Amino acid sequence: MQTNPETPQQKTHFGSGIRTWFLTGLVIAGPLAVTAWIVWWFITSVDNLVKPLVPPHLWPDTYLPVQVPGIGVILAFVGLTLLGFLAANLAGRTLIKVGEMLLDRMPVVRGIYKSVKQIFETVFSQNGTGFRRVGLVQFPMEGMWSVVFLSTPPGPVVKDNIPDKQDFLSVFLPCTPNPTTGFYFYLPAKDVIEIPMTPEQAAKLIMSAGLIQPEVQDQLSKLAAAASASKRQPEKLPAPADQ
């Protein structure tokens, strides 16, 4: 019995289907694999740092035939939480002041500690606004706009020495695709346009070179639709009085 051979069109359709399925599987598995690798690297790194600080008889690995990952992360979390709790008390604050006084007498260590401490306080401060706002500036030339992170206002030393006496903002312009490098400069406040975008959305936009666009407009549209819907709701009429 003679069978009909596959036509070139059918072969092309089958080949394009294989390619589509492969790319779909890659899109699904790729982010999961990268996320798992980053999480595993973080857990193992913390475990390797914390493990030498803990006596061996306190580690589950001593009593189990397999290594248990993540114990170092738990111990580090508990230790940092206890440290913060002690620092919030009077005795803890006193010990911290004594330790900082000792570090202040060390010429090289003093400068490193103060700089690192100021960076940590600025980045992790709950009340600070540094790097929590996003804006647009004209860079590298007029008519070309770049995304920047708004940092803290310039200090008195910088502000008093700028010839143009007006309000200035300090901004950080990250580079693509590595947002940890970039340019830091001062600009007049009137030349900076703040936009409704979170730092996480701006980082995704920069690292992807514009491929991942933030859904800010969709969020604003949803909020506007919800607000208009609430205005259109009919008001409840008062109940008729008993006659």
> Quick check: 115 pLDDT over 50?
yes
pTM: 0.54
Burial 191-200 (b: 16+ CB within 10 A, else e): ebeeeebeee
> Quick check: 41 pLDDT over 60?
yes
| Percentage of residues of the chain with pLDDT beyond 90 | 3
Lookup: tokens for 214: 């933030």
Using CB atoms within 10 A of its CB, is residue 186 exposed (0-12), middle (13-18) or buried (19+)? middle
Confidence tier at 221 by pLDDT (50, 70, 90): low
pLDDT top residue among 6 and 68: 68
User: Across the beta sheet with 193-195, what order do the strands follow?
Assistant: 182-188, 168-174, 145-150, 133-138, 193-195
Q: What is the CA angle 84-88-93, rounded to 5?
A: 105
Using CB atoms within 10 A of its CB, is residue 150 exposed (0-12), middle (13-18) or buried (19+)? buried
Chain segment 159-198, per-residue pLDDT in tens: 888 887 788 888 899 888 777 788 888 888 888 999 888 8
Positive or negative, the CA dihedral 201, 149, 167, 126 is positive
Domain residue ranges in the chain: 133-213
Confidence tier at 235 by pLDDT (50, 70, 90): very low
